[in-house]
Amino acid sequence: MNCEVCNLKELEVEHYEIREVLRCVLHTIIFHRALGLVRPKEIDLELFEITYVQCGDPEVEKKIEEKIEQFIGWVEKHPNKKSQICLSFYEVKNKHGSWFSKQIEQLHWEHWYINLNVAQQPKVQSVKSHNSKVVDTGENNLEDRSIRRAALEASLRDVLFQIIRFVNDKKEHVPPIPNREGVISFPYEIILPSSSDSAFGMDMIKRMLQTGHPTMLS
């Protein structure tokens, strides 16, 4: 089974917009992949005139909220960086090792990369990165903000349509729907960006742990 990758269009967001944007994108993707019986829940964004749909699973909502909080924490520690959040869907395969009872393998069949460019906060003046967005004086602040907001809304719509098109175009790689109760049909994980200075990063370690290779545990 091939693994499809979708790189979503980069979104330039301001710090206070991160939550809404991430909720919107993540829930939209998951709604497409929660192929169990769902009662869709429509959520209106407060900052934008966009209505997205949640699958209605509270656990999903909780998980997403946690990840968003973690991401915001990361952004605060690593300002002026382009960040990428990866939402991956995988299959759990039981791999029978030769002398081990069971090995669980995660076979990712889909990766969604959400690219964010968090605008620098107004109080922080920095020119070291081309990513930084120096906010002008308060006189232009509101106007610039509204312009950026409008551009972001348009970009967000584009991203949502990008998701819809991707889901429509690529269906073959989606595994068969497991015959089980619940909204979520396929396990997923949200991988936040790691520190650039860490070659491996916690997520890599976690992944290794999850795969359950005992050789890595040492």
Of 136 and 158, the one with the shorter C-beta distance to another protein is 158
61 binds another protein (CB under 8 A): yes
Amino acid identity of residue 123, one-letter, is K
Among 96, 123, 130, 171, binds another protein (CB under 8 A): 171
Token pair of 112, please? 């969604």
Pick the stretch among 67-75, 97-105, 141-149, 156-164 that binds another protein (CB under 8 A). Answer: 156-164
Distance CA 191, CA 201 (A): 11
Among 17, 20, 57, 110, binds another protein (CB under 8 A): 57
Token pair of 162, please? 């990008």
Indicate the helix (H) or strand (E) that contains 142: helix 138-169
Among 177, 204, 205, 216, binds another protein (CB under 8 A): 177
Token pair of 214, please? 């005992």
State residue 188 phi and psi, 5-degree precision.
Answer: -145, 165
Distance CA 115, CA 17 (A): 14
CA geometry: angle at 112 spanning 108 and 117, to 5°? 145
Q: How far apart are the first and last CA of the chain?
A: 31
Amino acid identity of residue 182, one-letter, is G
Pick the stretch among 84-92, 138-146, 167-175, 203-211 that binds another protein (CB under 8 A). Answer: 167-175
Q: What x-and-dash track marks residues 34-53 binding another protein by CB under 8 A?
A: -xxxxxxxxxx----xxxxx
Distance CA 195, CA 199 (A): 8
Of 181 and 197, the one with the shorter C-beta distance to another protein is 181
58 binds another protein (CB under 8 A): yes
Of 17 and 61, the one with the shorter C-beta distance to another protein is 61
Pick the stretch among 8-16, 28-36, 113-121, 210-218 that binds another protein (CB under 8 A). Answer: 28-36
Residue for token digits 């699958």? 55
Pick the stretch among 24-32, 94-102, 103-111, 113-121 that binds another protein (CB under 8 A). Answer: 24-32
Give the binding site for another protein (CB under 8 A): 28, 31-32, 35-44, 49-53, 56-58, 61, 157, 160-161, 164, 167-169, 171, 174, 176-177, 181-183
